[in-house]
Structure 1
Amino acid sequence: MITKKRVLACILAIFLVFAACVVVDDVTVELNTYEYYDSDLPMLFYGYRIMCVSDFHNSFYPGQISKKINEEKPDVVLFLGDMTTLPKNNTDRFMELLDGIEIDVPIYGVLGNHEEFSERKDELIREFAGTKMKLLQNESVMLERDGASIKLVGVSDVDMEDDQAKDSWSLSQIREYLSKELDHSAFTILACHRSNLYPYLEDLDADLMLSGHMHGGVVRVPFFGGIFGQDGGLMPDYDAGLYQESNMALYVNRGCDFTLTKPRINNGPEIVQIILKK
């Protein structure tokens, strides 16, 4: 005989199993690998691997992430912003992550909105300058391999919230810089924290934009994608994965933050290894 107590016990058991799965998913960093194909890629860069880490937010996974990076031995490591979290912007666990990277590869990073809006922004920039990570603030570097090269361009974050970014002065400055920098003399990767800036940059002459910011939409529903945008809206347009709406493709990292107030559901923390192919 099915009693009310048994029904409640079953419901409680299901809830506890679900909660346990969410917790395990939220504290286990997943390494995802994506192969990006582009006919403009120099043949000597075939198989070149870019390890992307986004939205770390000084979270609890420095050891997991550095271990995966050391095991995979990518050609370059790229931090895509929000290494810290407002308002304190502590850097202790991010510094632990950097110190844990033992392989000798170039490491680059760009600022995210949590650094851009911080009262400690200048102090953070000075702290990062003393590490093995080279911060790119509207700057470019050439990545070399066996005599061939490709360009990596990193841009600063805009100084406005998402719903105001389109008309911000800082976005116009980023576009002005990129219009001069991107001449397609080399295969070019653009590192930009906010994936939702893609519609305002996709007409420019880069091949691949790498971003984060959306945290995968926080809660992911099969066949629908992410639910929550960082601007408070629902069903964000560029929450995770690959997008191709122009000659410039976009790959969005789901990030690897952890917070009890905004648990990730069906959306565990990830780092992404992009393998360039043609």
Structure 2
Amino acid sequence: MTLSKLITDRDGDVEMKKGKQFIIISSILAVVSTVIKIYHDTNFFKVQPVHIQTKKIPKGSSFSILQLSDIHNKVFINNNEMFINKVSKINADVIVLTGDLIDRKTKELVHVFHLVEKLIAINPRVYFVSGNHEWDNPKREELFNGLRNRGVILLDNKSRTITLANTRLTLIGVADFTTQHADLDLAMQSREQADYTVLLSHAPDISWMLADTPIDVTLSGHTHGGQIRFPFIGGIVAPGQGYFPKLDKGLYPMKNGKYVYVDSGVGTTWFPIRFLNQSQMSLIKITGE
């Protein structure tokens, strides 16, 4: 074997070894980055801004709704101190809790009651509609009574009209649609005339029933945004919608200038992680145009 042949073979082995090292290091970095991202998305929250313009309220006027959905008894660092402080700084006109405050497996209500007490102290306008996990939990009546006693307004199949500055807002609530507790007709019966109407429904599945109603925007949760998402694909699966859901996360325009907004939520269930889908609260701002 010639010297040049030996050198060529040695250089080839070196390049192959470097290639393997690069693949190994890249793989390790990818795994570590994924783990870090999962931890961040699951344990640190963000505020998701949502802006809707309408001709139904005076031009230049506005109001804001802070939506908290699918908390599933989640407790962030320092007993939710940062979470509560953020709610306080946002200073929304209304706070809505769109279901699944607890998980079906939740046995103690201490954390959720602590959270709602803090919310009520920040803003007495706190409204709640139930989700499927409330109805699946044997402590649901204890939860519902505890919320009432702390000043939270339960809107399961009810409505409430309030005045915000120079705008009359009607909030209509339905109990969980997926467990067949929703009664939209009953909720609409007590509705008053208002400038703008918002429906609170834990599951967005009810949206097909809303075309001929005066509801302007529906605020939902339930899907967790798929909880685990992938680039260019989005959520892989969502409850009630199966694989590759159409209404999994974000603002969806409907007919006649109506919208459905699906909040991907705060907590987790079944599989306790989030990926490319950070825990969030949503700040919905309605502005007259």
- TM band (smaller chain): 0.7 to 0.9
Paired positions, count: 267
How many angstroms apart in 1 are the aligned matches of 2:236 and 2:178? 25
Secondary structure of the residue aligned to 1:48 is: strand
Q: CA deviation at 1:184?
A: 5.4
Q: Aligned partner of 1:213: which letter?
A: H
Counterpart in 2 of 1:269? 279
* Structure 2: tracts of 5 or more residues without a match: 1-13
Secondary structure of the residue aligned to 1:58 is: coil
How many angstroms apart in 1 are the aligned matches of 2:123 and 2:265? 24
How many angstroms apart in 1 are the aligned matches of 2:38 and 2:49? 22
TM-score, normalised to structure 2, is: 0.83
1:80 aligns with 2:90: no
Out of 68, 81, 88, the position equivalent to 1:63 is: 81
With over 3 angstroms needed to count, the CA separation of the structure-2 counterparts of 1:183 and 1:107, relative to structure 1, is closer
Q: Which structure has the larger Rg?
A: 2
TM-score, normalised to structure 1, is: 0.86
Q: CA deviation at 1:207?
A: 0.7
Q: CA deviation at 1:63?
A: 2.6
Identity of paired residues, percent? 24
Counterpart in 1 of 2:247? 238
More moved, 145-154 vs 267-276: 145-154
Q: CA deviation at 1:56?
A: 0.4
Counterpart in 2 of 1:93? 111
Counterpart in 1 of 2:53? 37
Secondary structure of the residue aligned to 1:78 is: strand
Counterpart in 2 of 1:17? 33
Counterpart in 2 of 1:163? none
Secondary structure of the residue aligned to 1:21 is: helix
Q: Aligned partner of 1:70: which letter?
A: S
Out of 138, 147, 152, the position equivalent to 1:119 is: 138
Out of 174, 195, 198, the position equivalent to 1:189 is: 198
> Alpha-carbon deviations, 1:86-129, whole Å to 9, x = none?
13353222222223334244111111111122222222211111
Q: CA deviation at 1:10?
A: 3.4
How many angstroms apart in 1 are the aligned matches of 2:33 and 2:141? 45
Counterpart in 2 of 1:251? 261
